[in-house]
Each structure stands twice: as structure tokens, then as C-alpha cells.
């Protein structure tokens, strides 16, 4: 468990460094992680039309956020 925490802290530190320590970018990264975690959670549930629709919506949000990030980095 402690090793997992160290890995998460290291990964978070690397991402913060890549994003130049900018708090706005860090907030966006946290949002991406939250969406990805929700996609994984929904994906582990039994298949249903509602679940598929939720995954579609979450992927849409993820793609929109990635496009916004690309625009910000240009």
C-alpha cells in the first residue's frame, strides 16, 4: 500500500512538472483522472444500455477536455 502511494505521488509530481506547475493545468489533469476512473467504474458494472450511454457521455467529456488542453498548449 505504501508503495502504491509513492508511485501515485511520483506520477503526480511528474505530471505537475510536465505541466509547468500551473495550477490550472493540474486541475484539468485531476478532472481527466476523475473521468477515467468513472469510465473504469462503469465498465466494471454489468452491461446495460444506461451504462453504455454513460460511457459515451464520459468519453465525450474526456475528448472535449483534451481538445481544450491542446488549444491551451498551442
| C-alpha torsion angle, residues 63, 69, 72, 74 (rounded to 10) | -80
Q: What band does 22 get if pLDDT is binned at 50, 70 and 90?
A: low
- The residue range of the domain holding 14 is 2-73
| Cβ 28 vs Cβ 65: under 8 Å | yes
Please give the Cα distance from 16 to 23 (Å, whole number): 8
- The rounded percent of the chain whose pLDDT value lies above 70 is 66
Domain count, the chain: 1
What are 65-71's contacts with CB under 8 Å, separation 24+? 65/28, 65/31, 65/32, 65/35, 66/32, 68/28, 69/25, 69/28
Higher-pLDDT residue of 16 and 23 is: 23
Amino acid at each position: 500500500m505504501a508503495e502504491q502511494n509513492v508511485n501515485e505521488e511520483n506520477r503526480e509530481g511528474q505530471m505537475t512538472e510536465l505541466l509547468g506547475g500551473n495550477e490550472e493545468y493540474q486541475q484539468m489533469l485531476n478532472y481527466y483522472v476523475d473521468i477515467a476512473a468513472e469510465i473504469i467504474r462503469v465498465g466494471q458494472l454489468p452491461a446495460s444500455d444506461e451504462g453504455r450511454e454513460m460511457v459515451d457521455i464520459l468519453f465525450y467529456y474526456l475528448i472535449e477536455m483534451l481538445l481544450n488542453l491542446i488549444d491551451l498548449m498551442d
